[in-house]
């Protein structure tokens, strides 16, 4: 009986000394954390979105030279978890390409996975 009591007391001592410590995210940006995360995600996919935009407009004879897009003007339409939590995700973005001083040229949807692979893209609208 005495051994059981000592083991029980030692066990209580060990588990009571473990405090739960939650890390606090430090946001050093001019936007709310959710916006900052969104912009960081979109910006991390920049090369893939650039390739998709290039493909979408490669046969458009009217497309202006220097067509680009802005992270802050891009919308995250859908996040799809392909595998388990923390695995592969597919991100659907609505992109608004423009030229020169932000003259809108079109609207496109681009699906890219978190490895940067272009899954699909679709041209929605062209402004002339």
pLDDT in tens, 31-64: 787 888 999 999 999 999 999 999 999 999 999 9
* pLDDT tens digits, one per residue of 18-34: 566 666 767 777 778 78
Instruction: Give the span between the Cα atoms of 78 and 71, in whole angstroms.
Output: 16
Query: Domains of the chain: which residue ranges?
Result: 48-128
Instruction: Give the span between the Cα atoms of 67 and 45, in whole angstroms.
Output: 17
Q: How many residues does the chain have?
A: 128
Instruction: Give the span between the Cα atoms of 3 and 11, in whole angstroms.
Output: 12
List helix spans (H) across the chain: 2-16, 33-44, 46-57
Instruction: Give the span between the Cα atoms of 89 and 83, in whole angstroms.
Output: 7
Instruction: Give the span between the Cα atoms of 91 and 81, in whole angstroms.
Output: 9
pTM comes to 0.75
Instruction: Give the span between the Cα atoms of 69 and 110, in whole angstroms.
Output: 12
Angle at 96 between CA 94 and CA 100, to 5 degrees: 160
């Amino acid at each position: 009986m005495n051994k059981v009591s000592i083991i029980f007391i030692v066990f209580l001592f060990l588990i009571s000394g473990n405090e739960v410590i939650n890390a606090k995210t430090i946001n050093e940006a001019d936007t709310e954390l959710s916006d900052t995360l969104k912009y960081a995600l979109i910006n991390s996919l920049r090369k893939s979105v650039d390739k998709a935009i290039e493909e979408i407009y490669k046969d458009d004879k009217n497309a202006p030279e220097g067509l680009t897009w802005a992270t802050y003007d891009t919308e995250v339409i859908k996040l799809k978890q392909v595998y388990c939590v923390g695995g592969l995700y597919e991100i659907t973005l609505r992109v608004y390409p423009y030229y020169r001083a932000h003259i809108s040229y079109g609207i496109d949807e681009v699906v890219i996975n978190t490895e940067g692979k272009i899954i699909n893209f679709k041209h929605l609208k062209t402004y002339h």
